[in-house]
Amino acid sequence: MSSLNKVMLIGRLGKDPEIRYTQDGTQVANFSLATSEFSSDKAGGRQERTEWHNIVAWNKLADLAKRFLTKGRQVYVEGRLRTREWNDRDGNKRRTTEIVINQMVLLGSRGEGGSDAAYSTTASAPEPLPEAPGAEPEITDDDIPF
């Protein structure tokens, strides 16, 4: 195996998904996901550490996020890490790392807006579009030297 880029998280949404559309009408959803870990301090008290993750969902997963995800909802996501760079309006170089998901499972009981069984869908996430900030150009067979 030459490399692996895979992320699996279970957490709660920090806010409702933000839905946008690319110039060609492709739907994209962005939302934040909180994961927490607990430990004990020296005095025996319980300490919580929360990590926030930027999540990106494309196409059908974006539509499902728009329809079913709300702030506080527990969800399992699976995808890959992607780091983008761009220049902001002031010319400053900016950078962000996000998780582009290709699988999402809604968790929780009916009381939390879920169902008794977890709902899952898998859809492939497209590569960044050329007009997107920090997007990489598509590599074809002609670009490979061997």
Long-range own/partner contacts, residues 20-26 (CB < 8 A, 24 or more apart): 22/129, 22/131, 22/132, 23/129, 23/131, 24/129, 26/58, 26/59, 26/126, 26/129
Domain limits for position 125:
7-143
Residue by residue, pLDDT tens for the chain (146 residues) are: 799 999 999 999 999 999 999 999 999 999 999 999 988 888 888 888 999 999 999 999 999 999 999 999 999 999 999 999 989 999 999 999 999 999 999 997 544 554 433 444 454 444 444 344 444 444 555 545 54
Output the six-digit token pair for 127: 């590569």
The phi and psi torsions of 127 (rounded to 5 degrees) equal -70, 160
Alpha-carbon 144 to chain mean position: 30
pLDDT of residue 92: 93
pLDDT of residue 13: 96
Output the six-digit token pair for 96: 């962000």
Name every residue whose Cβ is closer than 8 Å to that of residue 89 and which is 6 or more positions away in sequence.
none
By three-state DSSP, how is residue 19 classified? strand
Smallest Cα–Cα separation from 57: which of 93, 33, 36? 33
pLDDT of residue 19: 96
pLDDT of residue 38: 87
pLDDT of residue 1: 74
pLDDT of residue 124: 46
Smallest Cα–Cα separation from 28: which of 65, 75, 73, 79? 65
pLDDT of residue 115: 46
In a domain, 108, yes or no: yes
In a domain, 1, yes or no: no
Q: CATH code at 104?
A: 2.40.50.140
Looking at the structure of the chain, the number of domains it has is 1
In a domain, 79, yes or no: yes
Judge contact between 99 and 53, C-beta under 8 A: yes
pLDDT of residue 117: 37
pLDDT of residue 41: 84
In a domain, 42, yes or no: yes
